[in-house]
Amino acid sequence: MDKPVLIGDAMTGGYGGADILHDCTIAVDKGQIAVIVGPNGAGKSTAMKAVFGMLKLRKGAVRLNGEDITTLTPQARVAKGMGFVPQTSNIFPSMSVEENLEMGAFIRRDDFQETIEQVYDLFPILRDKRRQAAGELSGGQRQQVAVGRALMTKPSVLMLDEPTAGVSPIVMDELFDRIIEIARSGISILMVEQNARQALEIADKGYVLVQGANRYTDTGRALLADPDVRKSFLGG
Amino acid sequence: MNLTARDLGLFALMGAVLAMVGMFQSWQLAITILNMSLISAIMALGVNMQWGYAGLFNVGVMGFTAVGGLAVVLVAQPPVPEAWAAGGLGILLGLMLGVATILAAIAVYKHLSPGKLRGAAIFGVLAVGYLLTSYVFGPAKSAVQAVNPASEGYLGGLNMPVILAWPVGAVFAAGVAWLVGKVSLGLRSDYLAIATLGISEIVIAVMKHERWLARGVNNVTGIDRPVPRPVDLQPQPWVQSLAETLGWNVSQTASVLSGLGYAGLFVIVLALLIWLAERALNSPWGRMMRAIRDNEVSARAMGKNVTKRHLNIFVLGSAVCGLAGAMMVSMDGQLTPGSYEPLRFTFLIWVMVIVGGSGNNWGAVLGAFVIWFLWVQVEPAGRWFMEVVTSGMADGSELKQHLLGSAAYMRLLTMGVALLLMLRFAPRGLIPER
Amino acid sequence: MEPLNALVSVTNFMLIPALAYGSQLALGALGITLIYSILRFAHFAHGDTMALGTAAVIGGTFFLQARGISISPLPTAVLAIPFGMVVLIGYLLIADRLVYRYYRKVKAKPMIFVMASLGVMFVTNGITRLFMGVGETRFEDGERFIFSVRDFRDFTGLAEGMALRNAQALTIVTALIGMVVLFWFLNRTRAGKSMRAYSDNEDLALLSGINPERVVIITWVITGMLLVTAGTLYGLDKGFRPFNYFQLLLPMFAAAILGGLGSPVGAIVGAYIVAFAEMGITYAWRRVFSYLMPEGLEPTSMMQLLPVDYKFAVTFAILVIVLLFRPTGIFKGKVL
């Protein structure tokens, strides 16, 4: 296998106080889906934030397409081709769906109409609701807006922080389908998930974190089959 | 109540500066500055309770001090029997009708279920109440105001000792504060600021225009004073001999003595308030208040009724402002509603608190002294500055006249700059909270 | 019964002045709401910066008048507005750079911002008075009336007259244009949309590559333009006195809160409600009713609900009602 598109290599750090991450490594290959799972407080979201530069690393490095981006701000990382969907408040509620997408493309100076069409093709419901304020949409539709907004910069990696938090199981399946579709188009996906079992099913690679360190790393299928993982983290 | 050597040094320095004013300018001026500083210190203490202890932003200090001043007239002035005969009862009845209307509207609001009927009922109550009130109140008011309008034209007061007006002023201000606090506390913090800004404008409007109450813009003058007036002191033999010993003239001695009398009273009040405030601050209650200020969310989570505590402290602080307002009027011996300006009576007090050190009572006191001193002295300094600037210009040139004339506004600028510099570079003030 | 005369009377003495006053308030309240949504604090220096901007316009007007330049029938001040805008925008940006930016950097609490705006208020106040003093300055020139009471009477033959002052018409038209341009800017341009995005969700705006400092600068620029326009129109209509501008703070805040802080549409609606309530409640309706009531039943009293001196009480009452029953305002603004 060649070099991963994105790697957070041996990351150690925290929010100023004690370290939360300990020598933690997260990587994702081109067009693949990597999922971070683990118990509450394992540092899943922290690991994702570290990769995105929202937290200062004491040791370790983050590389995107081989380039060291450890010292870049999150905004600069977006410009380099990373898309990020935060877990909460990930849309502009009073703006219309289309304006949300336009804001996603704020750093682009070229014509992004085509990308908007691609997002509408991916999430057809958004095309119907393009003039509606995003805050008035249902939870699942809002998540679609959020993902669509992050796709507007045509990122090489899309990072999702618990995209299915608070949505119904049907909507969750639908959302996972879309995520697979995005990955097939060549965009690498890195996501943190609470619904570990379903997420691992679609994962090319799974990371089980415990107390800010890698515990198990394997393909999603292998992790699901691993009796230890099942017993400790997937509830049997 | 612990002051460090540095704090004491600052106070000593301030005292020395005042003494220099006495020696190089005049002792009358020094005493005037001292007395107004003491009153300002009490106002600052009130604001500091609200801001320093609880983080409440009161932009209506002017209103609370003015209400306190009104109390002096209502307590100390002799009643005007003709006016009472002409329309006293009508005014009282009218006021009661007005209050009853509002209470009735509230009762309707509480007892009927929401809907068009309730809206109509409230409107009806208000309309009938308004008509009744103005039917009773209007003629009575005109009748009162027509009684000897050149010197009276109002109901007068209760002819009680003027000192009594001080606590009454505090109670008046507390009442107004309770109403405002009830409405605007518990909402976003800047709502209180805007609500207090509004109420203070209204208080002043009422005092200016309700002539039956305290003669409005016609002012009430010659109010009884708690200490002898200079004119009364002058003929006293001991005053005359004191003047001889000091080598001053008699009128100067008398006015300094009279001023010192006030200063003595004010110091007693200030000391009492600081003692109470410091005890309160270091009591469990004070610790709770500061805990609420520093983390409202967790205090709420611990089951503290934050809104209610805020209302307590807001009322208390405003009462202190009202007390200071009453003291000021009884020092001046007159109530002049037209002289209440928000910059002077609200925002200047804020500068005092911020410069002195919010959260620290001694800081508020020191801030009051420093800022009031600057407020008084910057004007002559500004004039001097402008004279230097314009010295090269031809006499009588329009620009020169204009610049000299506008020297007075230099002090607004100075105060603003002082506030901004303190906020930026020493946000904890001259005597920080500890 | 002469309903037509009643209508003319109410239009002349109440509707037109209220519409003009409401338009002036609306422009001011828009500034308050914009600053609130972007910089997230209650801008207490609003009234005094408005006075400063107007002072600059007046200076420009006098300069032009001295050179005999005029655009009659329009007041010369209109020509000086761009100059006033440049001065005030410059002033606001300097104030932002010297004062507010630091507090943004250290993420100070909103109350500290308010405090800082008090400091700016003092300084601005001092500067304005240095130039203008405290007295009233009138700077209206050009035609005074579009049509006067006499014109109207001659034209219609009604007993009651009506006049439309130039300043009033100018106010209403200019404010309308100003609002349309502002909404076009906010809804149609990239910069405007970035402002709305920043107001909606600051973190996500940052993530999307929106530069907050740029948004802040745009906000001050727009605020400066609104303030100078509002202040000049108010001054043309009622004369310039610095203290009156300070006192506009309360109705402007009341309008913004009534409409819902952070909602531009709300600010406009709120401003007109405040203006009409102030005028309607302090207006003496006697004349109107004397036309409406049958012969012999004409009212004897002034039919005035409150004396004009209490127009602030009306504003305050509106504020209290909003705070009690709907703190988020008519158009739900930012909730607590």
Q: Do A103 and C203 count as a contact with CB atoms less than 8 A apart?
A: no
Which residues of chain A lie closer than 8 angstroms to C205, CB-CB? 92, 103
Q: What is the distance between the alpha carbons of residues A6 and A63, in angstroms, rounded to a whole number? A: 6
Q: What is the distance between the alpha carbons of residues A220 and C53, in angstroms, rounded to a whole number? A: 65
* Closest by Cβ to C200, choosing from A74, A75, A95: A95
Q: Do A106 and C194 count as a contact with CB atoms less than 8 A apart?
A: yes
| Number of CB atoms found within 10 A of residue A217's CB | 16
Interface of C with A (CB under 8 A): 190, 193-194, 196-197, 199-201, 203-210
Q: Do C327 and B350 count as a contact with CB atoms less than 8 A apart?
A: no
Assign A236 a pLDDT band (cuts: 50, 70, 90). low
A177: helix, coil or strand? Answer: helix
Element (H, E) at B375: helix B361-390
- CA torsion A221-A227-A230-A231 (nearest 10°) is -170
Choice among A201-210, C248-257, C319-328 with the minimum mean pLDDT: C319-328
* Closest by Cβ to A92, choosing from C190, C200, C209: C200
ipTM of the shown complex: 0.88
Q: Tell me what pLDDT residue C155 has.
A: 87
Q: Tell me what pLDDT residue A1 has.
A: 46
CA distances from B160 to B74, B75, B325, C295 (A): 9, 6, 18, 54
Place of tokens 């011996």: B333
Q: Which residue has better confidence, A157 or C331?
A: A157
Q: Do A94 and C209 count as a contact with CB atoms less than 8 A apart?
A: no
Closest chain C C-alpha to A210 CA, distance in angstroms = 28
The two three-digit tokens of residue C147, written as one number: 């049509």
> Are B176 and B70 in contact, with CB atoms under 8 Å apart?
no
* Cis-peptide into C73, omega within 30 deg: yes
Q: What is the distance between the alpha carbons of residues C84 and C49, in angstroms, rounded to a whole number? A: 11
The residue-averaged pLDDT of C55-68 equals 93
Q: Which chains border C (3 or more CB–CB pairs < 8 Å)?
A: A, B
- The runs of H, that is alpha helices, within chain C are 3-10, 16-38, 46-66, 77-95, 101-105, 110-132, 149-156, 166-188, 190-200, 202-207, 212-238, 242-247, 249-259, 264-282, 286-292, 311-325
Q: Chain A 134-153, CB below 8 Å of chain C: which residues?
A: 149
Whether there are 3 or more C-beta pairs closer than 8 Å between A and B is: no
Q: Tell me what pLDDT residue B371 has.
A: 93
Q: Do A107 and C208 count as a contact with CB atoms less than 8 A apart?
A: yes
Tell me the pLDDT of chain A averaged across its residues: 90
Q: Do B198 and C312 count as a contact with CB atoms less than 8 A apart?
A: yes
> Are A20 and A192 in contact, with CB atoms under 8 Å apart?
no
Q: What is the distance between the alpha carbons of residues B324 and B69, in angstroms, rounded to a whole number? A: 8
Q: What is the distance between the alpha carbons of residues B171 and B162, in angstroms, rounded to a whole number? A: 15
- According to DSSP, residue A53 is labeled T
* Closest by Cβ to A89, choosing from C199, C203, C206: C203
Assess whether pLDDT exceeds 80 at residue C301.
Answer: no
Q: What is the DSSP string of A112-154?
A: -HHHHHHHHHHSHHHHHTTTSBGGGS-HHHHHHHHHHHHHTT-
Chain A, nearest residue to C201 by Cα: A92
Supply φ then ψ for residue B194, to 5 degrees: -70, -40
Q: Which residues, in sequence order, are bridge partners of residue A190?
A: A34, A159
Closest chain A C-alpha to C201 CA, distance in angstroms = 6
- CA atoms within 13 Å, Cβ hemisphere of B59: 23
End-to-end CA gap in chain C: 51
Interchain contact A102–C (C-beta under 8 A): yes
Closest chain C C-alpha to B110 CA, distance in angstroms = 13
Q: What is the distance between the alpha carbons of residues B30 and B37, in angstroms, rounded to a whole number? A: 10
| Number of CB atoms found within 10 A of residue B86's CB | 21
Which residues of chain C lie closer than 8 angstroms to A94, CB-CB? 196, 199-200
- According to DSSP, residue C301 is labeled S
End-to-end CA gap in chain A: 32
Q: Do A102 and C193 count as a contact with CB atoms less than 8 A apart?
A: yes
Assess whether pLDDT exceeds 60 at residue C335.
Answer: no
Say how many residues make up chain B.
Answer: 434
Q: Where are the beta strands (DSSP E) in chain A?
A: 6-13, 21-28, 33-37, 57-64, 67-68, 82-85, 157-161, 188-192, 205-210, 213-218
Assess whether pLDDT exceeds 80 at residue A234.
Answer: no
* Strands C164-165, A82-85: pairing kind: unpaired
* Closest by Cβ to B189, choosing from C110, C125, C315: C110
List of residues 6+ apart from B382 with CB closer than 8 A: B407, B408, B409, B410, B411, B414
* Strands A21-28, A33-37: pairing kind: unpaired
Which is nearest to C79 in space by CA: C96, C59, C99? C59
Q: Tell me what pLDDT residue B2 has.
A: 65
Q: What is the distance between the alpha carbons of residues A202 and A191, in angstroms, rounded to a whole number? A: 11
Q: Which residues, in sequence order, are bridge partners of residue C240?
A: C137
Q: Do C130 and B193 count as a contact with CB atoms less than 8 A apart?
A: no
Q: Which chains border B (3 or more CB–CB pairs < 8 Å)?
A: C
Q: What is the distance between the alpha carbons of residues B252 and B230, in angstroms, rounded to a whole number? A: 9
Task: Give per-residue pLDDT as tens, C154-212.
Answer: 888 888 888 888 899 999 999 999 999 999 999 999 999 999 999 999 999 998 989 99
For B5-79+156-425, which CATH class?
mainly alpha
Assign C1 a pLDDT band (cuts: 50, 70, 90). low
Whether there are 3 or more C-beta pairs closer than 8 Å between A and C is: yes
Q: For chain B, list residues with pLDDT below 70.
A: 1-2, 396
Which residues of chain C lie closer than 8 angstroms to B351, CB-CB? 122
Place of tokens 């450890």: A70
Q: Do A90 and C204 count as a contact with CB atoms less than 8 A apart?
A: yes
Task: Give per-residue pLDDT as tens, C45-54.
Answer: 999 999 999 9
Domains of chain B by residue range: 5-79+156-425, 80-155
State the amino acid at position C332 in one-letter form. K
Chain C, nearest residue to A135 by Cα: C200
Assign C96 a pLDDT band (cuts: 50, 70, 90). very high
Task: Give per-residue pLDDT as tens, B247-298.
Answer: 888 888 888 999 999 999 999 999 999 999 888 888 888 888 888 888 888 8
Q: What is the distance between the alpha carbons of residues C263 and C143, in angstroms, rounded to a whole number? A: 36
The residue-averaged pLDDT of C12-40 equals 93
Q: What is the distance between the alpha carbons of residues A53 and B49, in angstroms, rounded to a whole number? A: 43
- CA atoms within 13 Å, Cβ hemisphere of B199: 28
Which residues of chain C lie closer than 8 angstroms to B347, CB-CB? 118, 121-122
Substitution target in C122, C137, C241, C246 with the highest count of B β-carbons within 10 Å is C122
- The runs of H, that is alpha helices, within B210-336 are 211-214, 230-233, 237-246, 250-281, 284-294, 296-301, 306-332
Closest chain B C-alpha to C119 CA, distance in angstroms = 4
Q: Do C206 and A75 count as a contact with CB atoms less than 8 A apart?
A: yes
Domains of chain A with bracketed CATH = 1-72+192-236 (3.40.50.300)
Interchain contact A85–C (C-beta under 8 A): no
Chain C, nearest residue to B109 by Cα: C325
Whether there are 3 or more C-beta pairs closer than 8 Å between B and C is: yes
Q: Tell me what pLDDT residue B381 has.
A: 81
Task: Give per-residue pLDDT as tens, B229-244.
Answer: 888 888 888 888 888 8
Which residues of chain C lie closer than 8 angstroms to B130, CB-CB? 305
* Closest by Cβ to C197, choosing from A84, A90, A92: A92
Q: What is the distance between the alpha carbons of residues C35 and C57, in angstroms, rounded to a whole number? A: 23
Substitution target in C207, C214, C328 with the highest count of A β-carbons within 10 Å is C207
